[in-house]
Amino acid sequence: MHTSGPADAADAVVVGGGTVGGWCAYFLRRAGLSRVILLEKRTLGQGATSRAAGIVRTQGGTPWAVRLGEWSRKFYLSQHDELGIDSGFTPQGYVLPAFTDDDVVAARERMAMQTRLGLNVRWLEPGQLDALNPTLAPGRTLGGTYCAEDGYLTPPRNVTAYAVALATCGVDIRERITFTGLTLDGGRVTGVQTSAGPISAPLVVLTGGPELADVGALSRIRIPAGGVRHQVAVTQPHPDLSAERVPMVFDLAAGLYWRPEEGGLLFGMSNPDEPPGEASSVDEPYLAVMRQRLAELVPVTAGLGLRRTWAATIDYTPDHLPIIGPAIVAGEVLGGVTVAGAGGAGMMWGPAVARAAADVALHGTTEVVDVADLGLDRFDEAGNSRLGTDPIALPFPEHAPQAPGRLTLS
């Protein structure tokens, strides 16, 4: 760790200019801090944030996921009144189909939990599901859950929204500046070291998406998080795929989801058998497997070409839940440092994780969600979580890398 004297000062420094870091800096400034500095080694949103699919789903598999998703959804809806700009959230409705009897049991149990938490989610019988989603091959499901309020946003527009919010509220944005470590005194942070020199600050929030473990490692903070390839593709348009005919759908067993996009379908997937690592290209063989599954469920897509395909490295945690809590070094809490990661759900949970992290940094607690179990202390030395895995998630790896390496998003 560095111990040189600081030449610059702030009330708080946020590391990382993705959706979690960006909105966190905004919330810290709105909470009354006079000077908030945001460090981003590239440019705002250049990493996974701008390459997301934009899904905002409140139908989580745990109470944490439900509360984070619902808080974020409401925030997206309130943005225009608050900021004069928004992230382009579109309520589209989201179906989670059940294909087996076990799926039905699990879905109904989830729906009961979600309803207790206030979600407007209902069960669709097979015929109702087919009627709601006429592009789906008929008779394939045993029904499913549906929430009409779930939707999606436009990831580049989300970057624009928080960039405008940061600029108008007076956050000091420092792009192309790399965080290189923390400055400590007696087990408490006194500032950060950067490629442009030191900054004095009593509060630091560490974010970084798929690079969060690397960010922590610069200050000996072990963060069980990793990065893994995620692929997204968009089909050519077709009249049968108009938005009013296509609710969003998550084929949980296959790890495949889709939503309308520019008259076609946007679909995304992660390969559960792929080891963690950076995204450098589209995995064409696995894309072909997922295209075949999509064609079985949405037959009209079988004859459509692809307009766009891309891969990005997105973050994950072993239990598919976010990290929100104080930094820990050698079993001891590091005063003034908060760690925040959305566990691969940056669009879905990002604003809520950001607000919760800002609250925790300022007050040690938050009303957004109960964060008592979401900190780093839930992981053992091997990176295993004491929490159950969120069952409604992409099939990311269930173990974080033991020795995090550098990730470069391609």
Q: Is there a domain that residue 30 lies in?
A: no
Q: Which residue has the higher pLDDT, 404 or 174?
A: 174
Q: Is there a domain that residue 384 lies in?
A: no
Output the six-digit token pair for 215.
Answer: 């960010």
Q: Which pLDDT value is given to residue 358?
A: 99
Q: Which pLDDT value is given to residue 395?
A: 84
Q: Whole domain around residue 298: which residue ranges? A: 91-151+227-316
Q: Which pLDDT value is given to residue 275?
A: 87
Q: Is there a domain that residue 117 lies in?
A: yes
* Whether residue 335 has pLDDT greater than 70: yes
Q: Which residue has the higher pLDDT, 9 or 395?
A: 9
Rounded to 10°, the helix 63-83/346-363 angle is: 90
The CA-atom distances, in angstroms, between 310 and each of 40, 187, 347 are 23, 43, 17
The whole-angstrom separation of Cα 184 and Cα 269 is 42
Q: Which pLDDT value is given to residue 404?
A: 42
Confidence label for 397 from pLDDT (cuts 50, 70 and 90): confident
* Whether residue 398 has pLDDT greater than 90: no
Q: Is there a domain that residue 279 lies in?
A: yes
Looking up residue 97, the CATH number of its domain turns out to be: 3.30.9.10
* Whether residue 405 has pLDDT greater than 50: no
* Whether residue 108 has pLDDT greater than 70: yes
Contact (CB, 8 A) for 216 and 223? yes
The CA-atom distances, in angstroms, between 150 and each of 136, 259, 380 are 19, 11, 34
Write the CB contacts of 292 (distance below 8 Å, at least 6 apart in sequence).
Answer: none
- Tens of pLDDT, residue by residue over 22-34, are 999 999 999 999 9
Q: Is there a domain that residue 86 lies in?
A: no
* Whether residue 280 has pLDDT greater than 80: no
Instruction: For residue 226, give the 3-state DSSP assignment.
Output: strand
Q: Is there a domain that residue 179 lies in?
A: no
Q: Which pLDDT value is given to residue 202?
A: 98
The whole-angstrom separation of Cα 349 and Cα 65 is 8
Q: Which pLDDT value is given to residue 279?
A: 80
Nearest CA-CA partner of 94 in 135, 155, 149, 134: 149
Q: Is there a domain that residue 212 lies in?
A: no
Q: Which pLDDT value is given to residue 329?
A: 96
Average pLDDT (318-338) is: 97
The whole-angstrom separation of Cα 331 and Cα 337 is 14
DSSP string, 91-143: E--EEEE--SHHHHHHHHHHHHHHHHTT--EEEE-HHHHHHH-TTSPTT--S-
Confidence label for 401 from pLDDT (cuts 50, 70 and 90): low
Among 6-20, 73-87, 178-192, 295-309, the range scoring the smallest mean pLDDT is 6-20
Q: Is there a domain that residue 306 lies in?
A: yes
The whole-angstrom separation of Cα 142 and Cα 73 is 28
- Tens of pLDDT, residue by residue over 177-199, are 999 999 999 999 999 999 999 99
* Mean pLDDT, rounded, of the chain: 94
Confidence label for 1 from pLDDT (cuts 50, 70 and 90): very low
- Tens of pLDDT, residue by residue over 76-86, are 999 999 999 99
**Start-to-end C-alpha separation, the chain:** 30
DSSP 356: H
Looking at the 3D structure of the chain, how many domains does it have? Answer: 1
